[in-house]
């Protein structure tokens, strides 16, 4: 049964209320509070019962047929809401906003919160070391504006990216946006790619928040203000969020950071491994020794946005030097950092989450360690100011019990001595309970009934219970009134007992209400302190991230890099930090020298010899240097790069159905189209996804183009040994190889980088190492020797332009050429067109 199938006028009053609320939340599962349960009805029930594995039942709603219904207990709702959100649903939480005890007729209900992937604030639902960004994207026609925020921490960012579909999608994936808000007129191709290929949660909104907010007051750029207001409308009006904790908007200047597209980030395994898609064994896994969640997220943000400003880089390096020099104080500092909870997200929860006594205690315990952190930071010489929030700490210390319950209506929240009225009520409660306990003994003595008991339940309140055998001893003059007969005895009440009961229960109820109100006052005091605590949390994050890099630099024997503006790379004893950490004894370290006149290192050598590792190692050294970290080498002198482009490994785009070769060409095209003289390009085995001579021709053309026209630092590994002859005609190319040697017919990898080209590929040897049958190896060696005895393939020279002699009969070629505009083709596209022409010519 669907909502559209029913007659609204026939519905019961409560179901009419449900329908009225649901029409404003068509896109969400509506969790509708009834007593101790959240109920789902109609289509929501059908969808929710299947997705959340709930029993589907029905409810009488005034119709002939019961409407579909399922539900969850309110105390267990968090887990179900989290599951629904992780499955891609949005959940609207509808609460009873009136107390049923004091309401005549229908209880008023309202949606108080909408939960979606991008707006989670509960710490139990969030990864401690990851951001949880929700982003608005506006198409400005000449660029895309991305405005994104982590509601759980209060961080807000805005940045412009080029008006290119792939660049935009790459940035969205790198930022790991959990939810994206687009306008109705947004490019449908991009929308469908994000939704279908990458399973992103997409919302459509054309409205902008129009009321003035402190967040937009200081924004001078109208474009940024529009982006923020587009995001705010969705958060405030659509998702009912209190966003007063959102901090000032940070403008990300993409020209001031080292740019990496999503392929580079994945190929270099910065945040997760390529094969298992796990954090373990990634770069951040190795360098994140942070003690706080704020530190881990700060370190991640540095890796997401490496710097190009040498002064800012050296400021971080200076701090690491100071921490290394004061390693004993650093050890003390990290002990105190370990005791600090996630202040950033606790602040966010205080503003727009279900903040409880446990959260308040975590803030208090965190503040307790800030004076020690402040002192140690000062003694080490770090220029980071820490507010100790002494007044708030005193308030929390004097008000909240250390073992206060999570549920605010359970009482036992507020300490004695904090509030006079509360203390008086507790004394009444305590005195009443003592009186009742003493009364039991007194009644036993007066009645002579030794097994008499004074008990309590919610139906009768306090009562006197007498066993069946002693019921005859109850006399009329006792003044007891029989209330219940049990199989085991009788229960009575007495006027004196009722009088004391009223006193105790009234005090109990007033205590719970007063404690709740007092806790809310404490919460308000915390909320007022949030802007200052956010600054403190940010400072703690920076301190922790620097301490982590300091610890890693010592543990992994990293060195402080220096920088030059001459496009010189000079690395001694460089190593891949993750592989070295896992296999330090056997790891072979290698340097990298590229002077001003060398743009390209052409790398040859056998499979498995370490070519890809060598290339990745250089990129990682550069990235670490530009986040202000020490680097894995004994010496490193580097230029500052503006971008890193990689084409490493096979990565078929299975979602869109593109082959390895097409993906390879697109990634290569992205590199040579966007790279500048200050970029780094890593091409690993380019051209292997097609026929040998096609691949070799493409590889040669791309290599020559990058060397002659872009002139950036490039590492180009290949099995096409014919390419090594380019060193003779292009002075800026230098051949190097990863050495290997044969020992009694067996291949031994030396993993050492040496000058010059490799003399052979050792492909058959690698096949033997892989366990290939001996018969196949012998046959391969036989065929190989025949090829080696033939005349070798000529060296690659500067190719002459191909001339086509087109006659009227070659209409297909003619028509094909007619549609090509050479001035609009990129080099890669030109090569692809050339390949297609070749195929057409074969048919002719």
pLDDT tens for each residue of 236-249: 998 888 899 998 99
How many percent of the chain have pLDDT more than 70? 89
Spatial distance between the Cα atoms of 109 and 24, rounded to a whole number of angstroms: 13
> At residue 783, does pLDDT exceed 80?
no
> At residue 95, does pLDDT exceed 50?
yes
What are the pLDDT digits (tens) for 107-129? 999 999 999 999 988 888 899 99
DSSP designation for 323: H
Report the mean per-residue pLDDT for the chain. Answer: 89
The contacts of residue 131 (CB under 8 Å, 6+ apart) are 150, 153, 155, 175, 176, 297, 300, 301
Spatial distance between the Cα atoms of 606 and 587, rounded to a whole number of angstroms: 17
> At residue 803, does pLDDT exceed 60?
no
Spatial distance between the Cα atoms of 677 and 643, rounded to a whole number of angstroms: 10
> At residue 801, does pLDDT exceed 60?
no
Compute CA distances 291 → 381, 747, 840, whole Å. 20, 45, 62
Spatial distance between the Cα atoms of 333 and 372, rounded to a whole number of angstroms: 8
Q: Which pair of tokens denotes residue 521?
A: 């006052």
Q: Which residue has the tokens 């109208």?
A: 222
In degrees rounded to 5, what are phi and psi of residue 145? -105, 120
The mean pLDDT value for 8-31 works out to: 95
The mean pLDDT value for 387-409 works out to: 94
DSSP 3-state assignment of 26?
Answer: coil
The answer to whether 690 and 828 are in contact (CB under 8 A) is: no
The answer to whether 522 and 598 are in contact (CB under 8 A) is: no
* Per-residue pLDDT band at 787 (split at 50, 70, 90): low
The whole-number pLDDT of residue 98 equals 86
Spatial distance between the Cα atoms of 461 and 246, rounded to a whole number of angstroms: 49
> At residue 169, does pLDDT exceed 90?
yes
519 bridge partner residues: none
The answer to whether 262 and 173 are in contact (CB under 8 A) is: yes
Name the strands in the sheet holding 643-647, side by side, starting at the edge strand that comes first in the sequence: 259-260, 643-647, 679-684, 713-717, 600-604, 733-743, 746-755
Spatial distance between the Cα atoms of 316 and 203, rounded to a whole number of angstroms: 39
> At residue 806, does pLDDT exceed 50?
no
What are the pLDDT digits (tens) for 486-533? 989 999 999 888 888 888 888 888 999 999 999 999 999 999 999 999
The whole-number pLDDT of residue 1 equals 82
Q: Which pair of tokens denotes residue 220?
A: 């001078």
Q: Per mean pLDDT, which of 42-46, 497-501, 509-513, 782-786 is the most reliable?
A: 42-46
What are the pLDDT digits (tens) for 189-242? 999 999 888 889 999 999 999 998 989 998 999 999 999 999 999 999 988 888
The mean pLDDT value for 458-462 works out to: 80
* Per-residue pLDDT band at 180 (split at 50, 70, 90): very high
Beta carbons within 10 angstroms of residue 427's beta carbon: 12
* Per-residue pLDDT band at 813 (split at 50, 70, 90): low
The mean pLDDT value for 423-436 works out to: 80
Q: Which domains does the chain have, with CATH numbers?
A: 3-115 (3.40.1170.10), 126-252 (3.30.420.110), 562-789 (3.40.50.300), 811-843 (no CATH)
Which H helix or E strand runs over 70?
strand 67-73
Packing angle of the helix pair 370-380, 327-338 (nearest 10 deg): 160
DSSP 3-state assignment of 525?
Answer: helix
The answer to whether 520 and 394 are in contact (CB under 8 A) is: no
Spatial distance between the Cα atoms of 788 and 766, rounded to a whole number of angstroms: 18
> At residue 650, does pLDDT exceed 60?
no
> At residue 791, does pLDDT exceed 60?
no
Backbone Cα Rg of the chain:
36
Which H helix or E strand runs over 548?
helix 495-555
Task: Give this prediction's pTM.
Answer: 0.85
Q: Which pair of tokens denotes residue 815?
A: 């028509």
> At residue 814, does pLDDT exceed 80?
no
> At residue 800, does pLDDT exceed 60?
no
The whole-number pLDDT of residue 667 equals 83
The whole-number pLDDT of residue 824 equals 57
What are the pLDDT digits (tens) for 533-546? 999 999 999 999 99
The answer to whether 678 and 712 are in contact (CB under 8 A) is: yes
Q: Which pair of tokens denotes residue 143?
A: 């660029």
The answer to whether 97 and 110 are in contact (CB under 8 A) is: yes
Q: Which residue has the tokens 């203390």?
A: 423
Name the strands in the sheet holding 57-59, side by side, starting at the edge strand that comes first in the sequence: 57-59, 67-73, 37-41, 29-34, 91-96, 109-115
> At residue 807, does pLDDT exceed 50?
no
The whole-number pLDDT of residue 653 equals 44
Least confidently predicted of 142-156, 270-284, 313-327, 653-667: 653-667
Spatial distance between the Cα atoms of 524 and 635, rounded to a whole number of angstroms: 53
* Per-residue pLDDT band at 568 (split at 50, 70, 90): very high
The whole-number pLDDT of residue 655 equals 39
The mean pLDDT value for 64-69 works out to: 94
> At residue 414, does pLDDT exceed 50?
yes
* Per-residue pLDDT band at 138 (split at 50, 70, 90): very high
The whole-number pLDDT of residue 805 equals 46
* Per-residue pLDDT band at 340 (split at 50, 70, 90): very high
The mean pLDDT value for 334-345 works out to: 98
Spatial distance between the Cα atoms of 793 and 783, rounded to a whole number of angstroms: 17
Name the strands in the sheet holding 179-182, side by side, starting at the edge strand that comes first in the sequence: 201-204, 179-182, 134-139, 143-150, 155-162, 249-252
Q: Per mean pLDDT, which of 105-114, 435-444, 651-660, 682-691 is the most reliable?
A: 105-114
The answer to whether 21 and 32 are in contact (CB under 8 A) is: yes
> At residue 830, does pLDDT exceed 90?
no
The whole-number pLDDT of residue 654 equals 34
The whole-number pLDDT of residue 619 equals 98
Spatial distance between the Cα atoms of 739 and 462, rounded to a whole number of angstroms: 89
> At residue 784, does pLDDT exceed 80?
no
* Per-residue pLDDT band at 468 (split at 50, 70, 90): very high
| Share in percent of the chain as helix, strand, coil (round to 5) | 50, 20, 35
What are the pLDDT digits (tens) for 614-640? 999 999 999 999 999 999 999 999 999
The contacts of residue 634 (CB under 8 Å, 6+ apart) are 559, 572, 573, 589
Q: Which pair of tokens denotes residue 265?
A: 């980030």
């Amino acid at each position: 049964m669907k909502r559209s199938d029913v007659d609204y006028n026939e519905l019961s009053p409560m179901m009419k209320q449900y329908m009225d609320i649901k029409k404003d939340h068509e896109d969400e599962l509506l969790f509708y509070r009834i007593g101790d349960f959240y109920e789902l009805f109609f289509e929501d029930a059908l969808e929710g019962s299947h997705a959340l594995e709930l029993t589907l039942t029905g409810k009488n709603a005034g119709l002939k047929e019961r409407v579909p219904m399922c539900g969850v207990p309110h105390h267990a709702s968090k887990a179900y809401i989290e599951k629904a959100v992780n499955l891609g649903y949005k959940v609207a939480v509808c609460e009873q906003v009136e107390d049923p005890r004091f309401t005549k007729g229908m209880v008023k209900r309202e949606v108080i919160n909408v939960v979606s992937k991008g707006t989670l604030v509960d710490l139990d639902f969030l990864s401690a070391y990851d951001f949880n960004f929700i982003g608005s994207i506006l198409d400005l026609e000449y660029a895309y504006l991305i405005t994104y925020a982590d509601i759980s921490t209060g961080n807000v960012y805005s940045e412009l990216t080029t008006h290119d579909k792939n660049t935009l999608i790459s940035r969205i994936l790198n930022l790991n946006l959990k939810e994206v808000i687009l306008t109705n007129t947004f490019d449908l191709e991009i929308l469908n790619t994000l939704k279908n290929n990458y399973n992103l949660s997409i919302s459509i909104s054309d409205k902008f928040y129009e009321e003035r907010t402190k967040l937009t007051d200081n924004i001078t750029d109208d474009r940024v203000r529009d982006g923020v207001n587009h995001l705010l409308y969705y958060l405030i009006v659509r998702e009912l969020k209190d966003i007063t904790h959102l901090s000032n908007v940070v403008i990300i200047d993409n020209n001031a950071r080292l740019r990496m597209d999503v392929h580079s980030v994945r190929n270099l395994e910065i945040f997760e491994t390529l094969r298992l898609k796990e954090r373990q064994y990634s770069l951040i896994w190795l360098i994140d020794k942070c003690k706080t969640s704020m530190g881990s997220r700060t370190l991640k943000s540095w890796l997401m946005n490496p710097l190009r400003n040498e002064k800012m880089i050296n400021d971080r390096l200076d701090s690491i030097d100071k921490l290394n020099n004061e390693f004993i104080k650093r050890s003390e500092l990290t002990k105190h950092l370990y005791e600090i909870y996630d202040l950033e997200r606790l602040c966010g929860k205080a503003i727009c989450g279900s903040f409880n006594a446990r959260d308040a205690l975590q803030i208090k315990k965190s503040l307790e360690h800030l004076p020690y952190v402040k002192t140690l930071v000062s003694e080490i010489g770090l220029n980071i100011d820490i507010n100790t929030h002494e007044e708030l700490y005193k308030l929390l210390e004097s008000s909240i019990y250390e073992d206060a319950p999570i549920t605010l209506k359970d009482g036992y929240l507020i300490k004695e001595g904090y509030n006079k009225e509360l203390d008086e009520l507790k004394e009444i409660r305590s005195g009443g309970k003592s009186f009742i306990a003493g009364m039991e003994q007194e009644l036993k003595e007066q009645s002579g009934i030794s097994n008499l008991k004074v008990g309590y339940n919610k139906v009768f309140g306090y009562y006197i219970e007498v066993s069946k055998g002693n019921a005859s001893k109850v006399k009329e003059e006792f003044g007891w009134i029989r209330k219940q007969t049990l199989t085991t005895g009788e229960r009575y009440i007495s006027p004196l007992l009722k009088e004391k009961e009223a006193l105790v229960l009234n005090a109990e109820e007033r205590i719970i209400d007063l404690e709740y109100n007092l806790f809310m006052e404490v919460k308000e005091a915390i909320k007022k302190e949030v802007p200052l605590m956010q600054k403190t949390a940010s400072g703690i994050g920076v301190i922790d991230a620097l301490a982590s890099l300091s610890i890693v630099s010592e543990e992994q024997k990293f060195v402080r890099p220096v920088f030059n503006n001459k496009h010189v790379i000079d690395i001694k004893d460089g190593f891949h930090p993750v592989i070295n950490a896992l296999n330090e004894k056997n790891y072979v370290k290698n340097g990298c020298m590229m002077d001003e006149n060398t743009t390209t290192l052409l790398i040859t050598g056998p499979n498995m010899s370490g070519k890809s590792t060598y290339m990745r190692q250089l990129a990682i050294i550069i990235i670490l240097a530009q986040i202000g970290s020490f680097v894995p080498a004994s010496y490193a002198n580097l230029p500052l790069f503006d971008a890193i482009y990689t084409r490493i490994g096979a990565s078929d785009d299975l979602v869109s159905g593109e082959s390895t070769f097409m993906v390879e060409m697109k990634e290569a095209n992205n590199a040579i189209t966007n790279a500048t003289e200050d970029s780094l390009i890593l091409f690993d085995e380019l051209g292997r996804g097609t026929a040998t001579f096609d691949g070799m021709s493409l590889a040669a053309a791309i290599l020559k183009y990058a060397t002659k026209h872009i002139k950036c630092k490039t590492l180009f590994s290949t099995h096409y040994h014919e390419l090594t002859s380019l060193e003779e005609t292009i002075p800026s190319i230098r051949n190097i190889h990863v050495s290997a040697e044969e020992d009694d017919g067996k291949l031994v990898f030396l993993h050492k980088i040496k000058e010059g080209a490799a003399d052979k590929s050792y492909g058959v040897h690698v096949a033997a190492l892989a366990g290939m049958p001996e018969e196949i190896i012998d046959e391969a060696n036989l065929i190989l020797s025949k090829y080696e005895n033939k005349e070798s393939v000529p060296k690659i020279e500067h190719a002459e332009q191909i001339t086509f002699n087109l006659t009227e009969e070659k209409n297909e070629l003619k028509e094909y050429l007619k549609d090509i505009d050479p001035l609009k083709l990129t080099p890669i596209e030109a090569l692809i067109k050339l390949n297609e022409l070749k195929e057409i010519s074969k048919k002719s």
